[in-house]
Amino acid sequence: MSGTPSGPSTGSGRAEDAIVEAAEKYRNWGRWGEDDVLGTVNFIDEAKRREAAALVTRGVSISLSQSFDMDGPQNGWRRRTNPVHTMLDSGTDAAFGVQGFPHGFGGADDVIAMPLQCSTQWDGLGHIFDRTMAWNGRPCQEVVTGEGDRVTGMENMAAPVVSRGVLLDVGRALGDGLGTDGELPDGFAITEEHLEATIAAQGASAAVGSGDIVLVRTGRLARAKRDGWGAYAGGPAPGLSFWTAGWLHRTEVAAVATDTWGFEVRPNEFPDAFQPLHQVVIPNMGLLIGELWDLDELAEDCATDGRWDFLLTAAPLKVTGAVGAPLNPIALK
C-alpha cells in the first residue's frame, strides 16, 4: 500500500471543489442543536465512559504528553515559541533571606509564558473557519473576537473528554514494509485503507466505534527524538489524507490525535490549499483534533500486551475563551 490519496485528482484547481463537496457531505451543523459547543464530543455519553472505565485491569497509567519547556519543538513558525519558564522565588532567595517570611519559612514560585498550542494540545472548535463560518454555522466574527472564543472556548471541553481510547499504530503496521523501521516518511498520506489495515493487523481491541478517541501514531515524533527537532513543528510530516474525512464522519469518533504538529499530511495533497482536512472536520464536522501527542510509550505497551484500547482522560486546561489548549492526556490500562 502506498501513501498516495485514495480520492480524486489532487492537482491545482481541484482543492476548492473537493473542500466544498466534503464540507457539505460531512457537515454536522444542527445535529446536536443550534446552541451546541461540543461537536463530536457529544458522541461520548455516560455508557461510553463506563465501558472505557472497565478497560482498566492492570492499573498502568501512561502520560501521552510531550514536555513543556524551552527545549521543545517550536521554531517560530506561525509565531509559536517554546514555553518560557521563569522562577519568581527560588531556593537562592530563601538562602539569602530576601523573601521576607518569618521563622525560617521559605519557598519557591514560578511562572510560564507560552502559546497554547506549542506542545501537546487540542485544536478547539473555534480554531479553524470555512469561508468565514465557524462550527455549527456561526459567523466567525461572532464567535472569536479580540476577547477570545466567546462561544466554543476550550473551557467547554474541560469535563467531557473522557472515553475509550484506541491507538492505531500506523507507523508500526506499515513502516516496516516501507523500510522505515516503524516510522512513516514525511509526506505519507494515511488513507482509510491504511487505517483499516492497521485495525485488522492489531485485532479486535483496535476496532473503532462511536464515541471513541482515536490516536494515530506515525512515528514522526520518534524520529525527531532521535535526529533532533529540525522541522518537526511546521514542516513536512506524515498524516491523515484529506480523503479520510468520510471515515472520520462515518465512524462517529469523538476526537482524533496524532504525534505530528499538523494532524494531516504535509505537504498537503492539494498544492493550492492549506490544511484542507482541518477546514472540513473542525468547522463543519465539529471534530476535536489533537496534535503533538507522544504516543511512543503507549505503543510499546500496547504491542507488548496485545491490547490497543484503554481508558483515556484528555481534559484540556480550562482556559476561558481559548481556541486551543494544552493538556496532559493519560491512558489507563
Domain ranges of the chain: 15-75+115-332, 84-113
pTM above 0.75, yes or no: yes
> What are 217's strand-pairing partners?
169
8-state DSSP, 284: I
Asked if 260 and 233 touch (Cβ cutoff 8 Å), the reply is no
Which CATH superfamily is 15-75+115-332 part of? Answer: Putative cyclase (3.50.30.50)
C-alpha cell at 246: 468520510
pLDDT at position 301 is 98
C-alpha cell at 107: 519557598
pLDDT digits (tens, 9 = 90+) for 302-323: 999 999 999 999 999 999 999 9
Phi first, then psi, for residue 239 (nearest 5°) are 175, 180
Q: Mean pLDDT by 10-residue block, N- to C-terminus, for the chain (333 residues)?
A: 44 80 98 98 98 98 97 90 96 95 96 96 98 98 98 98 98 79 93 98 98 98 96 97 98 98 97 95 98 98 97 98 98 98
C-alpha dihedral (165, 171, 177, 179), degrees to nearest 10:
-160
Contacts of 34 (CB under 8 A, 6+ apart): 136
Structural contact between residues 304 and 202, judged by C-beta atoms closer than 8 angstroms: no
- The DSSP H or E segment spanning 247 is helix 245-250
Identify the pLDDT of residue 179.
61
Whole-number Å distance between alpha carbons of 51 and 171: 27
Separation CA 96–CA 238 (nearest Å): 52
φ, ψ of residue 134 to 5 degrees: the values are: -100, 180
CA distance 16 to 271: 11
pLDDT the model gives residue 2 = 45
* Rounded CA separation 247/316 (Å): 25
Amino acid letter, 325: A
Cα–Cα distance, 20 to 27 (Å, whole number) = 10
Residue 9 DSSP class: -
